[in-house]
Amino acid sequence: MLSFRQPENFSYPFTDAFIFKSAYSSSLKYFLLILCAVSITISPHICFATKNQQDNPKTPDQIYQSGLSAHNNDDSFTALMVWLPNALLNNHADSQYMIANLYFNQKNQRYDIDQSIYWYKRAATQDHIEAQSKLGHIYCDEKLNVINLTEAIKWLSKAARNNHILSQFTLANLYLTENKHLNPKKAAYWLNQAANNNHTEAQYTLAEMFRTGSQIFKDLNKSYELYDKAAAKGHTDAQLQLARIYMQGIGRDINTKKAFQLFNQLALKGNHEAQYHMGNFYKDGIEVKQNFTKAFNYYSAAAKHNNPDAQYQLGKMYVNGYGTQQNFHKGVELFLQSATKGNKLAQMDLGVAYYTGKGIPPDTLKAYAWFHTAARQGVKNAYKNQSLVYDKLLNDDKNAAVLLASEYAEKYILPDKEAK
């Protein structure tokens, strides 16, 4: 087939009015005449054929393959000219799907979401699975400004029932997140279908549901089984959740060796929570020989990602001179960063710093406020320290201290962290 490259600023030799939005009648005949004329240059099999071609006309699938060859050679215009009559006259689903893709993937003025939807629907109604999936995803994509969740669910359901894995997962998410269509039972069903088809994110999402008992019955064994599958395929969140489970012994025996292995893998990928835990392993000598320098380095890496627990531990390393030169000022600075993110131990130590004036100018009002905030979160001796500071305050300062403490508690106690 001869290649026909589209000249710059060339307009397609057809209009929406007679190709896509009305009955074909005389306008279609006129279009086909134009197409036949163009086909002399583009592809002889469309209208004019050799004697051999007349005796052995190409099938719709063969015509589609001709268009695909042009498309694979970056000649989308020729591909479109080949696929159009095949899509119109032969109702060829693959050709319709590819035309829709051409419209959907075009840039600037050539992009036409309405035409892509039209052709996707032509193919989808013929049970073209990829077209069904594409339609469903278009209708739930906020960026495309054609949101229609009823249509999205309709087409995604068709594709999902045809075992399209991505559609199964997307459909499940719609049932989980969209209030008007909320249906946890259907969500769990489609997540399970996708998970059985080895969709990693579906395995993780379903594992989370089973672990928390959120919207479905709680089943830790199923949860761990799914975490294992997702983690084995490198799913970061699944690996992280498994590491926590092994570290804390949630529903399983504590296994610090497996926790160490998983946290180590994740730390190498730059995961700040894993870096924090690796700092703990080296600081406390768990599964490895105690090494304050390595602990300091891991805490430093995690603290750069604003991990509040790592910031607190790094602050302690500076204050105590472990793995680095002692520096009260840097240590207290890190306590402050961590305390303002809700870390209760940092709040306690920050209260001590303000009371003693080590690493920061002394301020009994702030010391009282931080002890109060830590006490509200159940930190041992925090209430005792708060009372001691309060007794030493001048009467004029006591009201100010109480007001500041109330402000700190409101700002720096995270939801659900206050001691009961």
Distance, in Å, from the CA atom of 316 to the CA atom of 327, rounded to the nearest integer, reads 10
Q: Is residue 18 classed exposed, middle or buried when 0-12, 13-18 and 19+ CB atoms within 10 A define those classes?
A: middle
Distance, in Å, from the CA atom of 178 to the CA atom of 142, rounded to the nearest integer, reads 13
Entry pTM: 0.77
pLDDT tens-digit profile, the chain (420 residues): 323 334 343 333 333 332 433 333 334 443 543 444 344 334 444 444 455 555 578 899 999 999 999 999 999 889 999 999 999 999 999 999 999 999 998 865 578 999 999 999 999 999 999 999 999 999 999 999 999 999 999 999 999 999 999 999 999 999 999 989 999 999 999 999 999 999 999 999 999 999 998 778 899 999 999 999 999 999 999 999 999 999 999 888 999 999 999 999 999 999 999 999 999 999 999 999 999 999 999 999 999 999 999 999 999 999 999 999 999 999 999 999 999 999 999 999 999 999 999 999 999 999 999 999 999 999 999 999 999 999 999 998 999 999 999 999 999 998 766 654
Q: Which helix H or strand E contains 372, and what residues bound it?
A: helix 364-376
pLDDT tens digits for range 160-177:
999 999 999 999 999 999
- Domains of the chain as residue ranges with CATH: 1-126 (1.25.40), 340-420 (no CATH)
Q: Are 237 and 260 in contact (CB under 8 A)?
A: no
Distance, in Å, from the CA atom of 350 to the CA atom of 368, rounded to the nearest integer, reads 10
